[in-house]
């Protein structure tokens, strides 16, 4: 199964994907733009999105997706952010932030090896698309209950600016975390 879009790690095949977290400084004067307002205003904010279709429908997720063909992970991050939020990033301003694998023993086609990235969004406005509805959240107001169950294990480190290296094994329900190693 391994090809340009797949990688084999320790005998397990993983689809290569990217996740990109965009940040901005909160501004209490902003209107709309998917701003959650309230406790997220005035402080540091991160762009996440409500997944409308596909893998993870109904969950709040980071922007991202599959690495297509021969594109680099950074190129995929720039493309995915543009597709899912309408925000155009400069590749040189997209910074590597770590790597994660998710192993789904009950559903191996869902296995993913993600390259993580961060970028500053500045004053760019996020726009919804068919797949995702982007929204700004205060870094201290993340909707953990609406995210995958692995998120609290690694996203706080990323939000704090620390590189993330993690390996997850998901339980047979494909939602619970059966095992985790965070370096």
Tokens (6 digits) for 114: 């993600």
Model pLDDT, residue 37: 43
Model pLDDT, residue 40: 44
Question: Residue 99, Cβ neighbours under 10 Å: how many?
Answer: 16
For residue range 98-155, what is the model confidence (pLDDT) as tens digits? 999 999 999 999 999 999 999 999 999 999 999 999 999 999 999 999 999 999 999 9
Alpha helices, DSSP H only, in the chain? 73-85, 151-159
- The span from the CA of 49 to the CA of 160, in Å, is 20
For residue range 47-81, what is the model confidence (pLDDT) as tens digits? 999 999 999 999 999 999 999 988 999 999 999 99
Model pLDDT, residue 158: 98
**What are the structural domains, with CATH classification, of the chain?**
6-182 (3.90.79.10)
**Nearest alpha carbon to residue 20 among 59, 90, 72, 76:** 76
For CA atoms 125, 137, 92, 6, give the dihedral sign.
negative
Alpha helices, DSSP H only, in 25-150? 73-85
DSSP letter at 43 equals S
Q: Helices then strands (H, E): number in the chain?
A: 2, 10
Question: Residue 16, Cβ neighbours under 10 Å: how many?
Answer: 20
Residue 132 contacts residue 52 (beta carbons within 8 Å): yes
Q: What's the predicted TM-score (pTM) here?
A: 0.91
Collect all residues with Cβ–Cβ distance below 8 Å to 176 and sequence separation of at least 6.
149, 170
Q: How confident is the model at residue 3 (pLDDT cuts 50, 70, 90)?
A: low
């Amino acid at each position: 199964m391994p090809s340009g879009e797949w990688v084999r790690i320790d005998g397990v095949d993983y689809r290569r994907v990217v996740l990109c977290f965009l940040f901005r400084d909160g501004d209490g004067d902003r209107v709309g733009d998917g701003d959650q307002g309230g406790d997220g205003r005035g402080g540091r904010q991160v762009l996440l999105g409500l997944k409308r279709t596909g893998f993870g429908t109904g969950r709040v997720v980071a922007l991202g997706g599959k690495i297509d063909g021969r594109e680099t992970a950074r190129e995929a991050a720039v493309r995915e952010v543009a597709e899912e939020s309408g925000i155009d990033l400069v590749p040189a301003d997209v910074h590597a932030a770590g790597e994660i694998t998710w192993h789904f023993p009950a559903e191996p086609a869902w296995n993913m090896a993600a390259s993580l990235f961060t970028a500053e969004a500045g004053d760019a406005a996020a726009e919804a698309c068919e797949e995702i509805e982007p929204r700004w959240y205060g870094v201290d107001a993340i909707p953990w209950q609406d995210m995958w169950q692995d998120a609290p294990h690694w996203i706080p480190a990323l939000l704090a600016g620390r590189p993330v290296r993690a390996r997850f094994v998901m339980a047979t329900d494909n939602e619970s975390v059966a095992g985790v190693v965070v370096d």
